[in-house]
Structure 1
Amino acid sequence: MRYLTGLALSVCALGSTPTFAARSMTINNLRCENVPNPLGIAEQRPRLAWKLDSEARGAKQVAYRVLVASRPELLSNDEGDLWDSGQVQSGETTGIIYAGKPLFSGQRYHWKVRVVDAAGKVSESALAFWQMGLLAKSDWHGQWIGYVAPKAEANNIPTLEKASWIWYPEGDPTKDAPVATRWFRRNVTVPAGRAVQNATLRVAADNSAVIYINGKEIGRARDSWKSRKTYELKDALVPGDNVVAISVANEGTAPGPAGLAAQLDIKFAEEEPISIVTDAQWKAINEQGDGWQTSAFNDGDWVAAKSLVAVGEGPWGEIASGSIITAPPAPYLRHCFTIDGKIKRATAYICGLGLYEMSLNGRKVGDHVLDPAWTRYDRRSLYVAYDVTENLKNGRNAVGVVLGTGHYDDHVLAVWDFEKASWRDNPKLMLEMRVDYEDGRQQVISSNDSWKASTGPILFDSISGGERYDARLEMAGWDTANYNDSAWKNVELAEAVKGNLVAQIAPPIKHTQTIVPIKITEPKPGVFIFDMGQNFAGVPELHVSGPAGTKVTMRCAELLHDDGTLDASNIENFVKRRDTEQLFQNDSYILKGEGREVWSPRFTYHGLQYVEVTGFPGKPTLDNLRGLVQHSAFDAVGSFECSDEMLNRTQQNTLWAYISNFHGYPSDCPQREKNGWMGDAHLAAEMGLYNFDGAANYEKWLDDIHDEQKENGVLPGIVPTSGWGYSWGNGPAWDSAYPLIVWYLYQYRDDKRVLEKHYDRLKLYVDYVTTRSKDGIVGFGLNDWLAPKTKTPVEVTDTGYYYADTRIVAQIAEILGKSEDARRYSELAQSIKVAFNKEFYNAQTHLYSNGSLTAQSCALYQGLVPDENKSAVVEALVDEIKNQGYHMDVGILGAKYILNALAENGRADVAYQMLMVKTEPSYGNWIERGATTLWEEWNGNQSRNHIMFGDVSAWFYKYLAGIQAGSPGFKTIVLQPHVLGNLTSARASYNSVQGKIVSEWKVEGSQFNWNVTVPANTTATVMVPCNEGTAVTESGHPITETAGLRFLRWEKGYAVYAAEAGSYRFKCAVNGD
């Protein structure tokens, strides 16, 4: 397996000896608004924070003094001309609110902090800074500009005009077909000896369909009656007998319209084409038999389908069709300017929508890719600030910007309707460069109508579709001052964006590592498949030599067909209409023919493990392709490893899935959708915070949610959204991303600002859900998604999240001093708990609802089980787990609940057994099947890179290593490892906002060894696993002789100690759980 290079944190070896020398504390990791030395912040009262390091036991801060100055030399003289906090008697190191003089646009402010420890020793930090962004629209001096080359209109795509809507003959399916699934078949004969030139199947179904050709699934369609789905079948058909088989589910809670419309067109090299449409010649049934999808199946007992109405009639009306307007080539913009003095500092502020790449004097500025991050553009667009002091020179300079479409001008049509987004427009640019000279002058270079424009080698770009690049059209030196741009056009002035311009200060997307392929195959002549050995998000990088005009095409996917060819069916099944430009993850490069050429796409990213290369000049080797991993480049803050390789691989797979699904916002999958599904995001948020410093990224996404919330409180299922997801794909189990992630940021980082910022909107949401509740029970939206066998009523999981959200609002109200709100929402939460138990709890069986693993663990995890019932409910859950053979018969909600509920209630041993199962459904089965990321479904269908089952990684930290917060921000820590099953060791570190916490244990023979680090300025409750009365030593000494430790009690197989900051080495006799 591949490990994430550059993201692993080391922990101390078990044999290391702690240092007890008393030293002054060192201050590090100074941050402003959760970012070190940020450029472009908008907050007038920014949050400041730092960390402390000390090898002395009991090290703590008792006072601090923050100095903020306009010039760094003032700080050298201990002068804060903007703010001197004075010596504040406090141990706080996070959330220190700037309270000095007003801050101004574009200004840089320098700061440092001094702390005093308990012994009166003073320590001082190095200098840090933050720079304000452009705070008002009037601070921008430029104009929005762009350039649009003429667009070309593609040929009309064939329609379904010859087909009829059909259904199983029952009642009037145009009005009241039952909520059920029906099955349809049509035999098709391809005459022997005829060469199929192309074959296209178009399908429209109400509601969802699964399509098979000759027994093989080729795609799925949901609500395709709005805009049909298209499938290419040339390689799926065989000479002789074939069968098209389609299952269609009429979804909902009550009868309604249901139907299927389809048309298969087969064209031959010479002979007349064949066209098959849905009509009464299709067969239908209401209960399918095994093998119903195959041509050999005997459908003699099936009945003729009922022809309802012609396509275009009935309740479905016209199905979207017609021509596609292809995107124009990417615009290249340039401008020259003169620098005439010694520069003190130069800052460029740029917003290029949807994506941009900027260069100065022929060199790319910065190392970001896919900037800026996606937002609801008509409410908030992000600009990026760069320090470009070193990029400029005296004399004539040139700035160049290439614009990509991104999500701003999404022209590959999929079911999420982003082509209809209210913000959609042609790419555009706003740029302001401020040059401050040493002599006090300031020069402003901005985008305006004096800039020049052209098109270049990027012929087409799409965030989901890919990129087409013709290297013959490259313009050498186009972004330098000496380039002759006399043939270039004038730029076009563009309409200003409707929303606010806000600085992007969260860690940007970067290329973080390079993957070398492990294998090449040639399943068909001239078709080469590169196996990257790892599923990841990013782009392929082509290394090639050949004649000018040679076109090399790269298609990216996660799966292979049985014959070794690329299988992209699981990522293309949400495309609405498709021609050459409508394929997902398809890149092409046309050679210029000048030696070795290296190219990778610039304005797209893919999810992939396999790359199909066609058109390659000659036979490629492994040296001809690389994989560039791209994701939001947050720092790693955690590491976990244990003695079991399967659990280690699960941890690594979770990390890969997480970084694959964070590109400025948390997504579900990096290939098929790239959507910010709310449910996926909150289910993975805790594991994300344990492993990565993504707080600023989550804060950005919380702002996105705020932008999308309607005034009545309703939230969409995906964020950002074009407007899709307010009536499907949401509901409390998904919407709870908003309150939960706000709460997680507080719990993990002690961040009260995020509570203050979002409290009113969270209250609005809970009030909205209350209007949808009936006697305290809620039941709308999605439920335990993708449970493999046992389904849990949506009312159980929805009401569980309704209760959790209400409790969060009550707790936030208490923290913020809103006592009346705290009382009201606490009472509401209690009433929901009573209603939940009344509705779902069976006192005789101790089961909730239908007794599913999800229902039972939901009640426990969400805190809905009364104390007097807990032991019985846990026992009933464990019994059902055993009945299931310790398999994960849960969906994504249950996967979050069950491991935590078991461990929280003293049955971590059962959770461990579930994680050790290697048959389906289980995490171990994915490992057995070669997974390198987490999958969307336990059976491996659909996406092979989803993060929604990812909370297992957080469980490793919490329970195997035993690192948990005792209070917000890990100011106090609980260290309670679990020695389970055959595990002989586990080690983890977590670099919290207070400092690095380490828990590393190992069983050697009959002895348990445990190394612990409690960071400076914190305390911990340390729970050593051992039988009552067992002797415990620290660094070879009895606890009573050890500084920094105090015995508290014996508790359920643990000796419990209060520990001051410091490093400890515990030893005792083994006591496994």
Structure 2
Amino acid sequence: MLEVIELRCEYKNNPVGIDVINPRISWKLKSDQRSIKQSVYEIEVADDQSFENGVWNSGKVISDQSVHVELDGLNVVSRKRYHYRVKGWNQNGDSSGWSEPAYWETGILDKKEWQAQWIGTAQNSESEQCPLLRKGFEVTGGIKQARIYASALGLYELELNGTRVGDSYFTPGWTSYKHRLQVQTYDVTEQLIRGENVIGATLGNGWYKGYLTWGDRRNLYGDRQALFAQLHLIYEDGREEIIITDGSWKTAGSPVLMSEIYHGETYDARLELPAWSCAGFDDSGWQAVEAVSQSNDVLIAQENDPVKKIEEIKPIELIKTPKGETVIDLGQNMVGWLRFTVQGVAGSEVEIHHAEVLDQEGNFYTDNIRSAKQTIRYILKGGDKETYEPRFTFQGFRYVRLVGFGEAVRLEDFTGIVLHTDMASTGEFECSDPLVNQLQHNIEWGLKGNFLDVPTDCPQRDERLGWTGDAQMFIRTAAYLKNIAPFFTKWSRDLAADQTENGGVPFVIPQVLSDKDHSSAAWGDAAVICPWTIYLCYGDKRILEEQYDSMQAWVGYIRSQGDNEYLWNTGFHFGDWLGLDSKPDTYIGATDRDYIATAFYAYSTSLLQKSAAVLGKTEDALNYGELYERIVEAFTEEFVTPSGRLSVPTQTAQVLGLMFGLLEGKAKKRANDKLMELLEESKFHLTTGFVGTPYLNHVLSDNGHLDAAYKLLFQQDYPSWLYQVTKGATTIWEHWDGIKEDGSFWSKDMNSFNHYAYGAIGDWLYRSVAGIDTDEQAAGYKRIFIRPQPGEGLTWAEGRLDTMYGKIRSSWKKTEQGGMELEVSIPPNTTAEIQLPGAGSDSVKESGIALNKATGVDSTEQTDKGVVLTVGSGDYKFSW
């Protein structure tokens, strides 16, 4: 049996409104046999789902490619749905037959097709009230197809005939607005009726003109909200009609009196206008809209997955604090908002305040969110029960303080609504230790809380910015947990758009800080590390092609900075941010910042060299290879003594030198020994900060110190990953001791309890403990490595990863008889190298059969680390 399943176009399932001129499609194979490979494929594209009107056919292509297949020669046009299906043949000539059909639909590809105008409220309006906009129009026949293409300056939410349009939030998303502004496409065919219809919109400040960063800064991109929309109608008789935003629209104030991402929302239910987006509503008292100046040249189709409501959380406890305040505990530090039901007299008010933690006395604590108010104010209309939830703000919180709700509070009247970018879940990890499982939970929830359209540092205080350093440190872990390729494709394009003329990369993307020319090592390196990681994990060459100029510009920027073109020893750097070996009253760890900068200079250059090779840029690859060698020589001369000792005696220094391959021979051995010496001095506790921590356990397990890596993992006192778990954390903290042993806090001004950077340990759990990795030479898990590293403290561990080819599983356990078992799943159209740690080839059985008789096992090799096997696809169970 052979099937072609899970067709995707540009990573997405039946996308509508994309503007990719040369779309790529991917599929998976399904088979109940082992060692199945694709030998031939055929793709058919048609105008219709019956495939009677074919527009493109690949013919039979002799190839095993099933990921990112470009449809060469297909010329797509605007606003057209393309149906496609795939047929595959395995190496034995067996055919799958045609797959179930899938489709993609293009958006508006030619900017000349835009007829809409940008419209908003009066320019002299000082009100913070969110505006409503509406327009009535006539549908004069049966509708075959209807699409809305919409964007905004600020945030928008559409309604059509009294019903919300779509299920996305915070549209049009946060991009480098001066260069790139996303357009969303909505299929509204079923929402239209014959006769009078009404389209409406509500606008919010959002990232565009709301408060952003610190110091009460706002209007960073502009000072006017605006809506931009086109409704394309295709009638059953073939007629087409376009309804656009223009001067015929009307506007009025909404019940939302204030809406800010940091500060929350104020809603006066007495101002509700029932059926305002329905036919028959009297808008005679509404004002005319005004035209707003905005270029259409920056418009692009939605690139990443939209933000959606993902799940709901019910509170676990109603608390009366020592101060006498009423507080609800959701049981999970989350991001989104609270939906609540309340009843009372008209004009009475309730308030909801949000916090991540309680203080050591058990009182509600908000000092760490700084100036962000995170407050929802609701004014009742009176009468029956009223249910409310915000729309243009989000909060980071576990605890909610209720004001004005009275004494009869019922937990069932409150629900936490979790929002984040709607990325497909791809990975799971679990093991025999419940604290490590909670750590894995916290890592995943750190991602959920901070991958809200951009990779933010934290989701609660007056920041929530796309810090580049945090993103590059966590991206490989994130790629195990979710399909982050569209998310980081969009963000990487914003990085390139905001890159300075000399190649520098701002600290945050999108860039909203004042010192635009400042670039820091390990932060700006996101320009290279993130595209390379997406290529590595998804086999996506196009992101390397798109970002190559940006990657080159970053390395060129570094090269122009130092006193010596092969060292980076000038400028500001965050260094080993929050390293525990820092001097008092500073956030920067003790590791020499020039050392870190030059190490990352070498690392980014090495990745750029690899990227050039992947793209067939042979001359560039040679040049960057030579540059890398020169940087390593300069690094060695500057930081390695003639006897092989690193001149920077910190944990992070040893880790970076070893992780980035900057040390050889005696210097490598001495760094390895020094790292162990430093760990012994700290009683096997880390002192690393943002820069060293993501690589620490990798360096240990890759250099013969697996036991030390496990010791670090299992530490439960400060500083350690599990210390946070023992203190009740449900997400990853910004500081190792965000809450101290006595219950006091590290600081007031910079102490996030949802800060994913240290969650990068998840990469080691998947890649080393479970042992799932990809071969760089066959990226995207085309060739898989299964190299589990069992250690002291675990009796079993399992990792699962859904790749572009299908599900990978690696599950090991120690048996009571002192042996090992390893269950492995390898998807069709891939191969795997499997390492059985400590095994002897004579003792290994596969499903009870000797290795030399097992189907799918292609080769066996005995090494000093155990048995190494090469296998084809299928499910295997090894025991030894």
TM range (shorter): over 0.9
| 1:709 is the counterpart of 2:509 | no
| Alpha-carbon shift at residue 53 of structure 1 (Å) | 1.5
What are the ranges of 5 or more consecutive residues in structure 1 without an aligned counterpart? 1-22, 153-326, 576-582, 1069-1073
Bigger mean CA offset, 871-880 vs 636-645: 871-880
Instruction: Give the Cα separation in 2 of the matches to 1:484 and 1:96.
Output: 53
1:368 counterpart SS class = coil
Instruction: Give the Cα separation in 1 of the matches to 2:848 and 2:575.
Output: 53
List aligned pairs for 1:372-387, cutoff 5 A: 372-387=172-187
State how many pairs are aligned.
854
| Alpha-carbon shift at residue 362 of structure 1 (Å) | 0.9
1:848 counterpart SS class = coil
Could you say which residue in structure 1 is the equivalent of 2:615? 816
| 1:368 is the counterpart of 2:164 | no
Decide which of 756, 780, 788 is 2:580's aligned counterpart: 788
Decide which of 399, 413, 431 is 1:642's aligned counterpart: 431
Cα deviations by residue, 1:944-966 (Å, 9 ceiling, x for unpaired): 00011121111111011110002
Could you say which residue in structure 2 is the equivalent of 1:38? 15
One-letter code aligned to 1:1009: E
List aligned pairs for 1:895-906, cutoff 5 A: 895-906=693-704
Instruction: Give the Cα separation in 2 of the matches to 1:525 and 1:804.
Output: 53
| 1:328 is the counterpart of 2:328 | no
Bigger mean CA offset, 517-526 vs 49-58: 517-526
1:629 counterpart SS class = strand
Contact 1:718 1:725 in 2 (8 A): no
1:969 counterpart SS class = coil
One-letter code aligned to 1:623: E
| Alpha-carbon shift at residue 727 of structure 1 (Å) | 4.5
Could you say which residue in structure 1 is the equivalent of 2:110? 136
Decide which of 827, 846, 851 is 1:1015's aligned counterpart: 827
Instruction: Give the Cα separation in 2 of the matches to 1:562 and 1:1034.
Output: 55
Bigger mean CA offset, 630-639 vs 791-800: 791-800
Instruction: Give the Cα separation in 2 of the matches to 1:470 and 1:1030.
Output: 76
One-letter code aligned to 1:1020: A
2:758 counterpart SS class = coil
Could you say which residue in structure 1 is the equivalent of 2:742? none
| Alpha-carbon shift at residue 737 of structure 1 (Å) | 0.8
Contact 1:847 1:856 in 2 (8 A): no
| 1:973 is the counterpart of 2:771 | no
CA distance 1:80–1:882, change in 2 (3 Å) = farther
Could you say which residue in structure 2 is the equivalent of 1:763? 552
| Alpha-carbon shift at residue 425 of structure 1 (Å) | 2.4
One-letter code aligned to 1:134: I
| 1:122 is the counterpart of 2:95 | yes
| 1:93 is the counterpart of 2:93 | no
Could you say which residue in structure 2 is the equivalent of 1:186? none
Decide which of 402, 407, 413 is 1:624's aligned counterpart: 413
Could you say which residue in structure 1 is the equivalent of 2:31? 54
Could you say which residue in structure 1 is the equivalent of 2:585? none
One-letter code aligned to 2:35: G
1:407 counterpart SS class = helix
Could you say which residue in structure 1 is the equivalent of 2:241? 443
Cα deviations by residue, 1:1042-1073 (Å, 9 ceiling, x for unpaired): 111034322233211110111101111xxxxx
Decide which of 798, 804, 810 is 2:597's aligned counterpart: 798
Contact 2:609 2:625 in 1 (8 A): yes
Contact 1:48 1:96 in 2 (8 A): yes
| Alpha-carbon shift at residue 750 of structure 1 (Å) | 1.0
Instruction: Give the Cα separation in 2 of the matches to 1:724 and 1:888.
Output: 34
| Alpha-carbon shift at residue 412 of structure 1 (Å) | 6.3
1:697 counterpart SS class = helix
| Alpha-carbon shift at residue 57 of structure 1 (Å) | 0.4
Contact 2:521 2:597 in 1 (8 A): yes
Could you say which residue in structure 1 is the equivalent of 2:80? 107
Contact 1:687 1:954 in 2 (8 A): yes
2:341 counterpart SS class = strand
One-letter code aligned to 2:876: Y
One-letter code aligned to 1:694: I
Bigger mean CA offset, 675-684 vs 34-43: 34-43
2:827 counterpart SS class = strand
Cα deviations by residue, 1:654-708 (Å, 9 ceiling, x for unpaired): 0000110011110100011110000000111011111101110110001110110
TM-score by length of structure 1 reads 0.78
Decide which of 625, 635, 653 is 2:442's aligned counterpart: 653
Instruction: Give the Cα separation in 2 of the matches to 1:1053 and 1:958.
Output: 17
Contact 1:41 1:132 in 2 (8 A): yes
One-letter code aligned to 2:292: A
Could you say which residue in structure 1 is the equivalent of 2:539? 750
Instruction: Give the Cα separation in 2 of the matches to 1:821 and 1:761.
Output: 14
2:266 counterpart SS class = strand
Contact 1:350 1:431 in 2 (8 A): yes
CA distance 1:58–1:597, change in 2 (3 Å) = same
Instruction: Give the Cα separation in 1 of the matches to 2:862 and 2:141.
Output: 72
| Alpha-carbon shift at residue 525 of structure 1 (Å) | 7.4
CA distance 1:413–1:51, change in 2 (3 Å) = closer
Could you say which residue in structure 2 is the equivalent of 1:310? none
| Alpha-carbon shift at residue 978 of structure 1 (Å) | 1.1
One-letter code aligned to 1:109: Y
Contact 1:412 1:465 in 2 (8 A): no
Contact 2:658 2:668 in 1 (8 A): yes
One-letter code aligned to 2:288: N
Instruction: Give the Cα separation in 2 of the matches to 1:678 and 1:31.
Output: 29
Contact 2:710 2:793 in 1 (8 A): no
Could you say which residue in structure 1 is the equivalent of 2:142? 342
One-letter code aligned to 1:811: K
| Alpha-carbon shift at residue 732 of structure 1 (Å) | 2.1
Could you say which residue in structure 2 is the equivalent of 1:737? 526
Contact 2:130 2:257 in 1 (8 A): yes
Could you say which residue in structure 2 is the equivalent of 1:479? 277
Decide which of 802, 807, 815 is 1:996's aligned counterpart: 807
CA distance 1:363–1:149, change in 2 (3 Å) = farther
Contact 1:960 1:979 in 2 (8 A): yes
One-letter code aligned to 2:201: V
1:932 counterpart SS class = coil
| 1:852 is the counterpart of 2:644 | no
One-letter code aligned to 1:597: E
CA distance 1:526–1:447, change in 2 (3 Å) = farther
| 1:357 is the counterpart of 2:168 | no
Decide which of 197, 200, 212 is 1:400's aligned counterpart: 200
One-letter code aligned to 1:58: S
One-letter code aligned to 1:114: K
Could you say which residue in structure 1 is the equivalent of 2:314? 516
1:570 counterpart SS class = helix
Could you say which residue in structure 1 is the equivalent of 2:675? 877
Cα deviations by residue, 1:260-318 (Å, 9 ceiling, x for unpaired): xxxxxxxxxxxxxxxxxxxxxxxxxxxxxxxxxxxxxxxxxxxxxxxxxxxxxxxxxxx
Contact 1:526 1:614 in 2 (8 A): no
Instruction: Give the Cα separation in 2 of the matches to 1:373 and 1:948.
Output: 23
Decide which of 59, 63, 67 is 2:44's aligned counterpart: 67
Instruction: Give the Cα separation in 1 of the matches to 2:157 and 2:77.
Output: 28
One-letter code aligned to 1:1000: S
| Alpha-carbon shift at residue 420 of structure 1 (Å) | 5.2
Contact 2:322 2:361 in 1 (8 A): no
Could you say which residue in structure 2 is the equivalent of 1:391? 191
Contact 1:1016 1:1061 in 2 (8 A): yes
Cα deviations by residue, 1:531-551 (Å, 9 ceiling, x for unpaired): 211111111222211111111
Could you say which residue in structure 1 is the equivalent of 2:856? 1044
List aligned pairs for 1:504-543, cutoff 5 A: 504-523=302-321, 527-543=325-341
Contact 2:209 2:219 in 1 (8 A): no
Instruction: Give the Cα separation in 2 of the matches to 1:586 and 1:872.
Output: 54
Could you say which residue in structure 1 is the equivalent of 2:587? none
Cα deviations by residue, 1:589-615 (Å, 9 ceiling, x for unpaired): 011112211111110001111111112
Could you say which residue in structure 2 is the equivalent of 1:913? 711
CA distance 1:633–1:867, change in 2 (3 Å) = farther
Contact 2:211 2:262 in 1 (8 A): no
